[in-house]
């Protein structure tokens, strides 16, 4: 029986090449997109779950309230985790990760920068599951100056040599002995690293005592990621419940002095990728995007399935006779249902096989697209395939169900007499509804794509209040180089293409630090956290930032070097200063509130966007401080011949005795990178939209061919009684245009609401959603839709009416 | 009104060439009622297609209302057709999705006649056909006779000079058939020219002249004596 089904199914496929082709293309594209999106979603949703003990691991986070201002951090004070362990028996173990910054590592003649290295406690391999290829996980990070590398980093430095026992040097010629090699971290790790130095290295450098101190003041400096492993059958709540007494014991004395408090927060390891919005944290996943993409994947699949249903029922006109004959020959309805269902399942299976090939070929580009390195093994994951095959089966059955139940219900006597043909093909209303749904989805995605790209170009082109073009930013890495910053700057200015230069502690995109200062408010001084940037005298001019009131620092004003401060407009607003000039800010005081500098405001600068447009501009202050080393130098060029300017800078860089390779960034590029997530999302959304629209159009193409066929008689009659070809075209187009417009009417409000939410929740500075995006989407979908049906429609309208009306 | 000269229609497929109509020459005067008879496949339908300007002959000439129309393009044929010719088919050829009123209205829409005028004319002709009470019904809700009366209404609503009918009673029982034939006769009395293809000798009785076709050629012509 099955053989017979297979035979008819395959013959059916080859006989109706046009329909089969459209169906398989639609299904293939739909399934391929679905599989890729599923891989993405599975990766996102499975973060850190590969750690065997992940359900017992919690990451610790800090919640500081300093003078009423609340700040939450993904990192905690250095002594927090070990002290918690000594106090609370629920904790079995802990690991701390301290960012090693940008390390220049060297082995023989191979050297390169490593950005993703951490100092970690030796307990890491007992807490996390990082399979060790070489070395002993128990002892690997116990000794100071040891390092564990990932497999790919080990290969990079040592190639085929055995890395164990080899020595890596850093920029200061510190030696690190390789004591282990672990597997590369999977893409779904929220804390990614390429290598780990032993935390005891830090202890050795700082002194054991200082590193392990539990002095109250050490709890008021944050610095490390920390994870605790709980014992079986214990709960993290117990620790949170007992934390107040811990606070009283270790932290309260300082907290009371500085009018501040602290609470401990934590997140289960597997949720760390998504939960919380903390300062000083690894990049987070966005659940909203996860939902959006899951929805998009489903949409694409639904549209492809709708295509199948539509085309299959449409084809039923031609198959009515087959059903009649099979019934007369003794087929039961159940057998016919089985036959049609197996046909659609077979078709889906064919689509699935091709889709897999497509996915396999696209896998590398897909990884670039989502910015994650996945392994090919992700493709052969059993769970993934159970889900994919399950979904394909459901889609196949769903897509086949309507034709199956509908076709099998045909009355053989009517079918064979031919009186069916006019009405066969199923209820036109259902088919219309399906087309409406397809366009509803497609139009939502078109509008979404347009608004997202509008927002992105708004972000790229918004006037940020400073010059970002032709600005080269360099980091002065080592302290000796930094001390020569001013000389370096002067040397650079001798080049004709270099217009200006400035050294500072911060540049837009990486602005200085946050510190508690005392601000004058009405008659008293209040403590508040401020963003601080220490510039030199040329900062304002180089960056082209406007002064709103007063002036910027001048070298010839002697007191500017010690007593003056410049604030931004937001500061003025926040403290309600009617006359900002002369207002006092006390900076750098000790816990007793003494020392530091009392600065007077000499100028107010425009609220330039020193940070990404995700964040609102906050109060910012700048003052001159010669003793604070300025690690960033910005060079403004005239934009001519950048290559030669850069090689001149590089030459000077080495002349100044910089210990590290020349590195620079163009400011506009590094600012663009702040919107990488949105840009990637935009691109993915764009592609998904093209795919959706494409599949919807394939469906429309197939459907138009059917409708043209079904309407042959009506068109013929109309022409006989006087309709012209344009009359007929209008008639056919109107019908489709109506469906598309209904889809549009359904899509527009929903999309408006969704996008408005997205913009409000993700950006402080966002475009207003405007009607042109909607108009474009509406008009485009009608035009594209009508174009796609044109071939069949025009052919039908020009068809020979003599055949259509048949005299006898 | 109609004059043909060696009208020939050849159908070609890849392998077969069929001559459906072979040098047919005849004429129809204004106000005549002509029946065309002959066995299946003798070329009756092809003749009607040519006379109705639905198709062009392979060779030969066709003069319709003193104008040579045998070489016209479809656009020009359509223009002539819609104001001058009405069609009645054996299988009615009504559009199932439209009501009786809408079906009858179609030719007037394509002639560009205004809505109020259309309504008046459709109602008039529906009344004339005794179908006014069914104007909101769909074809499938009607009996065969009613469907054919609707089709006749549609054929005459634009006041054509010529009506081409193809076995107008073929799908009807005798009572309904007679009803339709009486209608056509009445139209002819009022001056409309009618060419009708039929198998039925009793229907042919209504015509003043009968042309017999066989294998694409006219074999005999009988003129009925005036009563």
Q: Are A476 and A609 in contact (CB under 8 A)?
A: no
User: Are the Cβ atoms of A721 and B106 closer than 8 angstroms?
Assistant: yes
User: Are the Cβ atoms of A720 and B87 closer than 8 angstroms?
Assistant: yes
Cα of B91 to nearest chain A Cα, Å: 7
Q: Is the dihedral of CA B109, B113, B118, B122 positive or negative?
A: negative
| Angstrom distance (rounded) from CA A217 to CA A253 | 9
Average pLDDT over residues A448-467: 87
Determine the residue among A722, A725, A730, A800 to mutate to test chain B binding: the one whose Cβ has the most chain B Cβ atoms within 10 Å: A722
Cα of B226 to nearest chain A Cα, Å: 31
> Would the pLDDT of A267 be above 80?
yes
In chain A, residues with a C-beta closer than 8 Å to the C-beta of B45 are 807-808
Higher pLDDT, A346 or A805: A346
Mean pLDDT, chain A, whole residue set: 87
Residue B169, CA distances (Å) to A262, A713, B47 in order:
98, 21, 19
Q: Are A766 and A755 in contact (CB under 8 A)?
A: no
In chain B, residues with a C-beta closer than 8 Å to the C-beta of A724 are 75, 78, 110
User: Are the Cβ atoms of A802 and B167 closer than 8 angstroms?
Assistant: no
In chain B, residues with a C-beta closer than 8 Å to the C-beta of A807 are 44-45, 48-49, 89-90, 166-167, 197
In chain A, residues with a C-beta closer than 8 Å to the C-beta of B200 are none
Interfacial B residues in 111-130 facing A (CB < 8 Å)? 111
> Would the pLDDT of A67 be above 90?
no
Global ipTM: 0.89
- Kindly report, residue by residue over A313-330, the tens digit of the pLDDT: 767 666 777 777 777 777
**DSSP string for residues in A148-197:** EEEHHHHHHHHTTS--TT-EEE-TT--EEEEEEEEPPPPTT-SS--SEEE
Mapped onto helix, strand or coil, the DSSP state of residue B121 is helix
In chain A, residues with a C-beta closer than 8 Å to the C-beta of B197 are 807
pLDDT at A806: 63
| Angstrom distance (rounded) from CA A735 to CA A710 | 14
User: Are the Cβ atoms of B110 and A717 closer than 8 angstroms?
Assistant: no
Q: Are A567 and A519 in contact (CB under 8 A)?
A: no
| Angstrom distance (rounded) from CA A598 to CA A350 | 76
Cα of B119 to nearest chain A Cα, Å: 17
In chain B, residues with a C-beta closer than 8 Å to the C-beta of A723 are 106, 110
User: Are the Cβ atoms of B106 and A727 closer than 8 angstroms?
Assistant: no
Q: How many CA atoms lie within 13 A of A293 on its CB side?
A: 27
Higher pLDDT, A653 or A513: A653
> Would the pLDDT of A193 be above 90?
yes
Minimum-distance CB partner of A718 among B52, B106, B111 = B106
Cα of A723 to nearest chain B Cα, Å: 5
> Would the pLDDT of A424 be above 70?
no
User: Are the Cβ atoms of A805 and B89 closer than 8 angstroms?
Assistant: yes
pLDDT at B73: 87
Task: Check if B154 contacts A (Cβ < 8 Å).
Answer: yes
Average pLDDT over residues A33-47: 88
Interfacial B residues in 90-109 facing A (CB < 8 Å)? 90-91, 93-97, 106-107
Interfacial A residues in 688-747 facing B (CB < 8 Å)? 713-714, 716-725, 727
CA angle A500, A502, A508 (to 5 degrees): 110
| Angstrom distance (rounded) from CA A254 to CA B113 | 94
Supply the pTM of this predicted model: 0.75
Task: Check if A806 contacts B (Cβ < 8 Å).
Answer: yes
User: Are the Cβ atoms of B54 and A724 closer than 8 angstroms?
Assistant: no
Task: Check if B58 contacts A (Cβ < 8 Å).
Answer: no
Average pLDDT over residues A330-344: 81
Other residues' Cβ atoms within 10 Å of the Cβ of residue A639: 11
Cα A574 to chain centroid, rounded: 33
Residue A376 DSSP one-character state: G
Residue A415 — very low, low, confident or very high, per pLDDT cuts 50/70/90?
low
Average pLDDT over residues A123-133: 95
SS3 sequence of A406-418: HHHCCCHHHHHHC
Which parts of chain B are beta strand (E)?
2-12, 17-24, 27-28, 33-37, 59-64, 67-68, 85-88, 162-166, 193-197, 209-214, 217-223
Determine the residue among B74, B83, B154 to mutate to test chain A binding: the one whose Cβ has the most chain A Cβ atoms within 10 Å: B74
Cα of A727 to nearest chain B Cα, Å: 8
Minimum-distance CB partner of B96 among A422, A721, A722 = A422
Average pLDDT over residues B124-148: 91
In chain A, residues with a C-beta closer than 8 Å to the C-beta of B75 are 724-725
Determine the residue among A720, A799, A802 to mutate to test chain B binding: the one whose Cβ has the most chain B Cβ atoms within 10 Å: A720
| Angstrom distance (rounded) from CA A486 to CA A477 | 14
In chain A, residues with a C-beta closer than 8 Å to the C-beta of B87 are 720-721
Higher pLDDT, B120 or A22: B120
User: Are the Cβ atoms of B110 and A805 closer than 8 angstroms?
Assistant: no
User: Are the Cβ atoms of B110 and A722 closer than 8 angstroms?
Assistant: yes
- Kindly report, residue by residue over A716-775, the tens digit of the pLDDT: 888 888 888 888 899 888 988 998 999 999 999 999 998 998 888 878 888 888 888 899
Other residues' Cβ atoms within 10 Å of the Cβ of residue A175: 11
Cα of B11 to nearest chain A Cα, Å: 13
pLDDT at B85: 92
Average pLDDT over residues A84-105: 93
pLDDT at A420: 47
A479 CB burial (10 A radius; 0-12, 13-18, 19+): exposed
Nearest to A191 by CA among A226, A151, A146: A226
SS3 sequence of A470-514: CEEEEECCCHHHHHCHHHHHHHHHCCCCEEEEEEECCECCECCEE
Residue A303 — very low, low, confident or very high, per pLDDT cuts 50/70/90?
confident
Residue A371 in tokens:
């910015």
User: Are the Cβ atoms of A720 and B54 closer than 8 angstroms?
Assistant: yes
Cα of B110 to nearest chain A Cα, Å: 5
User: Are the Cβ atoms of A722 and B87 closer than 8 angstroms?
Assistant: no
User: Are the Cβ atoms of B52 and A720 closer than 8 angstroms?
Assistant: yes
User: Are the Cβ atoms of A805 and B52 closer than 8 angstroms?
Assistant: no
Average pLDDT over residues A538-551: 94
> Would the pLDDT of A226 be above 80?
yes
Residue A421 — very low, low, confident or very high, per pLDDT cuts 50/70/90?
very low
In chain B, residues with a C-beta closer than 8 Å to the C-beta of A805 are 89, 93
pLDDT at B107: 92
In chain B, residues with a C-beta closer than 8 Å to the C-beta of A800 are 55
pLDDT at A1: 65
> Would the pLDDT of A130 be above 90?
yes
Nearest to A677 by CA among A402, A292, A383, A133: A292
């Amino acid at each position: 029986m099955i053989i017979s089904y297979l035979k008819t199914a395959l013959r059916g496929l080859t006989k109706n090449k046009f329909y089969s082709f459209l169906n398989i293309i639609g299904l293939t594209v739909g399934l391929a997109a679905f599989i890729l999106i599923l891989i993405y979603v599975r990766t996102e949703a499975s973060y850190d779950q590969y750690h065997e003990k992940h359900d017992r691991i919690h990451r610790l986070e800090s919640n500081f309230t300093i003078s009423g201002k609340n700040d939450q951090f993904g990192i905690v004070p250095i002594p927090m985790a070990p002290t918690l362990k000594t106090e609370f028996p629920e904790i079995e173990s802990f690991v701390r990760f301290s960012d090693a910054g940008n390390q220049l590592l060297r082995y023989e003649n191979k050297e390169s920068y490593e950005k993703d290295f951490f100092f970690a406690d030796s307990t890491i391999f007992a807490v996390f599951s990082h399979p060790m290829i070489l070395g002993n996980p128990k002892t690997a990070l116990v000794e100071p100056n040891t390092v564990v590398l990932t497999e790919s980093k080990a290969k990079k430095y040592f190639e085929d040599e055995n890395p164990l026992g080899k020595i890596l040097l850093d920029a200061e010629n510190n030696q690190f002995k390789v004591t282990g090699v672990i597997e590369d971290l999977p893409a779904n790790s929220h804390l990614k690293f390429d290598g780990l130095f032993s935390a005891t290295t830090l202890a050795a450098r700082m002194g054991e005592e200082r590193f392990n101190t539990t002095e109250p003041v050490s709890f008021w400096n944050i610095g490390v990621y920390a994870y605790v492993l709980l014992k079986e059958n214990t709960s993290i709540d117990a620790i949170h419940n007992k934390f107040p007494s811990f606070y009283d014991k270790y932290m309260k004395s300082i907290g009371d002095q500085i009018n501040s408090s602290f609470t401990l927060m934590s997140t289960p390891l597997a949720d760390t990728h998504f939960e919380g919005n903390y300062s000083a944290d690894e990049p987070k996943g966005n659940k909203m995007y996860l939902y959006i993409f899951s929805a998009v994947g489903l949409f694409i699949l639904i549209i492809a399935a709708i295509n199948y249903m539509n085309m299959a029922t449409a084809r039923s006109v031609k198959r009515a006779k087959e059903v009649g004959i099979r019934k007369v020959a003794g087929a039961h309805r159940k057998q016919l249902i089985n036959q049609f269902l197996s046909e659609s399942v077979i078709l889906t299976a064919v689509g699935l096989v091709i889709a897999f090939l497509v996915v396999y070929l696209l896998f590398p580009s897909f990884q670039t697209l989502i910015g994650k390195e996945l392994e090919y093994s992700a493709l052969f994951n059993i769970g993934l395939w159970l889900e994919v095959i399950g979904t394909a089966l459901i889609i196949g059955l769903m897509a086949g169900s309507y034709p199956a139940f509908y076709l099998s219900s045909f009355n053989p006597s009517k079918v064979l007499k031919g009186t069916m043909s006019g009405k066969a093909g199923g209820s036109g209303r259902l088919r219309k509804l399906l087309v409406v749904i397809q366009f509803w989805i497609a139009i939502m995605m078109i509008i979404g794509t347009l608004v997202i790209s509008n927002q992105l170009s708004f972000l790229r082109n918004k006037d940020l209040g400073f010059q970002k073009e032709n600005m080269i930013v360099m980091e002065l890495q080592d302290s000796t180089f930094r001390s020569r910053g001013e000389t370096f700057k002067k040397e650079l200015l001798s080049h004709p293409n270099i217009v200006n230069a400035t050294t500072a502690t911060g540049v837009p995109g990486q602005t200085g630090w946050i510190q508690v200062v005392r601000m004058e408010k009405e008659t008293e001084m209040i403590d508040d956290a401020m963003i601080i940037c220490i510039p030199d005298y040329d900062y304002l001019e180089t960056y082209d930032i406007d002064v709103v009131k007063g002036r910027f620092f001048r070298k010839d004003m002697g007191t500017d070097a010690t007593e003056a401060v410049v604030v931004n407009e937001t500061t003025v607003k926040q403290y309600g200063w009617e006359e900002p000039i002369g207002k006092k800010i006390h900076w750098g005081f000790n816990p007793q509130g003494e020392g530091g500098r009392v600065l007077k405001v000499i100028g107010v600068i425009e609220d330039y966007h020193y940070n990404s447009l995700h964040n609102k501009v906050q109060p910012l202050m700048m003052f001159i401080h010669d003793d604070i080393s300025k690690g960033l130098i910005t060079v403004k060029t005239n934009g001519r011949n950048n290559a030669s300017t850069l090689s001149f800078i590089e030459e000077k860089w080495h002349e100044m005795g910089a210990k590290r390779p020349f590195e620079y960034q163009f400011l506009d590029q590094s600012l663009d990178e702040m919107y990488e997530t949105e840009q990637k999302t935009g691109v993915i959304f764009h592609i998904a939209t093209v795919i959706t629209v494409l599949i919807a159009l394939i469906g429309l193409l197939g459907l138009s061919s059917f409708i043209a066929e079904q309407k042959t008689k009506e068109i013929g009659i109309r022409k006989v009684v006087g309709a012209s070809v344009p009359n007929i075209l209008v008639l056919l187009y109107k019908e489709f245009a109506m469906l598309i417009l209904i889809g549009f009417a359904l899509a527009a409000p929903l999309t408006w609401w969704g996008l408005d939410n997205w913009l409000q929740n993700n950006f402080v500075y966002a475009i207003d959603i405007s009607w042109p995006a909607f108009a474009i989407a509406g008009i485009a979908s009608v035009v594209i839709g009508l174009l796609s049906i044109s071939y069949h429609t025009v052919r039908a309208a020009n068809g020979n009416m003599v055949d259509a009306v048949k005299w006898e | 009104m109609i004059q043909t000269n060696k009208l020939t229609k050849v159908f070609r497929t890849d392998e077969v060439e069929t001559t459906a109509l072979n040098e047919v020459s005849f004429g129809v005067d204004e106000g005549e009622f002509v029946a065309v008879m002959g066995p299946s496949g003798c070329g009756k339908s092809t003749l009607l297609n040519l006379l109705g300007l639905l198709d062009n002959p392979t060779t030969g000439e066709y003069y319709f209302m003193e104008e040579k129309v045998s070489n016209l393009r479809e656009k020009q044929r359509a223009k002539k057709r819609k104001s001058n010719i009405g069609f009645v088919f054996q299988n009615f050829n009504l559009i199932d999705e439209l009501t009786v009123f809408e079906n009858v209205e179609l030719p007037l829409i394509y002639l560009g006649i205004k809505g109020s005028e259309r309504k008046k004319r459709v109602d008039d002709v529906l009344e004339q056909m005794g179908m006014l009470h069914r104007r909101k019904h769909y074809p499938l809700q009607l009996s065969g006779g009613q469907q054919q009366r609707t089709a006749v209404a549609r054929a005459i609503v634009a006041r054509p000079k010529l009506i081409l009918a193809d076995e107008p009673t073929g799908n009807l029982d005798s009572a309904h058939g007679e009803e339709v034939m009486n209608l056509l006769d009445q139209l002819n009395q009022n001056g409309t020219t009618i060419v009708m293809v039929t198998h039925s000798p009793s229907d042919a009785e209504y015509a003043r002249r009968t042309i017999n076709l066989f294998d694409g050629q006219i074999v005999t012509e009988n003129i009925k004596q005036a009563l």
